[in-house]
Amino acid sequence: MKLNCDLGEFTENNDADIMPLIDMANIACGFHGSDPLTIKRTIKLAQQHQVIIGAHPSYPDVENFGRQSMDLSQDELIANVQYQIGALQALCSVENTQLNYVKPHGALYNDMMKNVNIFEDICLAIAQLNQTNHKPLFLMIQAVTDSDKFDQIAKKHHISLYYEAFADRAYLDNGLLVPRGEVGAVLTNNQTVVSRCQALLNKQPLLSQNQQPLQFHIDALCVHGDTPNALEMLKALRATINNAQGLR
Q: Per DSSP, which regions of 89-166 are E strands? A: 99-102, 138-142, 161-166
Please report whether residue 78 resides in a domain.
yes
Please report whether residue 237 resides in a domain.
no
Please report whether residue 180 resides in a domain.
no
pLDDT value of position 248: 55
pLDDT value of position 43: 98
Contacts made by residues 40-47, CB under 8 angstroms, sequence distance 24+: 40/91, 40/95, 41/8, 42/7, 42/8, 42/15, 43/8, 43/88, 43/91, 43/92, 43/95, 43/97, 44/95, 45/15, 45/16, 45/19, 46/7, 46/19, 46/97, 47/95, 47/97
CATH of residue 70's domain is: 3.20.20.370
How buried is residue 75: exposed, middle or buried, by Cβ count under 10 Å (0-12/13-18/19+)? Answer: exposed
Q: How many domains does the chain have?
A: 1
For residue 244, pLDDT beyond 60: yes
Packing angle of the helix pair 36-48, 74-94 (nearest 10 deg): 60
pLDDT value of position 242: 94
C-alpha closest to that of 204 among 218, 191, 192, 193: 218
Mean of the pLDDT values across residues 64-86? 97
pLDDT value of position 247: 65
Question: How far apart (Å, rounded) are the C-alpha atoms in residues 156 and 138?
Answer: 13
Question: How far apart (Å, rounded) are the C-alpha atoms in residues 146 and 135?
Answer: 28
C-alpha closest to that of 230 among 195, 188, 200: 188
Please report whether residue 229 resides in a domain.
no
Task: Tell me the HSE value of 92 on the side-chain side, using a 13 A CA sphere.
Answer: 22
Please report whether residue 242 resides in a domain.
no
Mean of the pLDDT values across residues 125-137? 94
pLDDT value of position 73: 98
Where residue 82 falls (left for φ over 0; alpha for ψ -120 to 50; beta otherwise) is alpha
Please report whether residue 190 resides in a domain.
no
Share of the chain above pLDDT 90, in %: 92
pLDDT value of position 89: 97
Mean of the pLDDT values across residues 54-78? 97
pLDDT tens by residue, 19-45: 999 999 999 999 999 999 999 999 999
Please report whether residue 200 resides in a domain.
no
How buried is residue 222: exposed, middle or buried, by Cβ count under 10 Å (0-12/13-18/19+)? Answer: buried
Domain that holds residue 9: 2-166+217-224
pTM of the predicted protein model: 0.95
For residue 246, pLDDT beyond 70: yes
pLDDT tens by residue, 138-181: 999 999 988 999 999 999 999 999 999 999 999 999 999 999 98
pLDDT value of position 88: 97
Please report whether residue 131 resides in a domain.
yes
pLDDT value of position 207: 93
Which phi and psi angles does 142 have, rounded to 5°? -75, 135
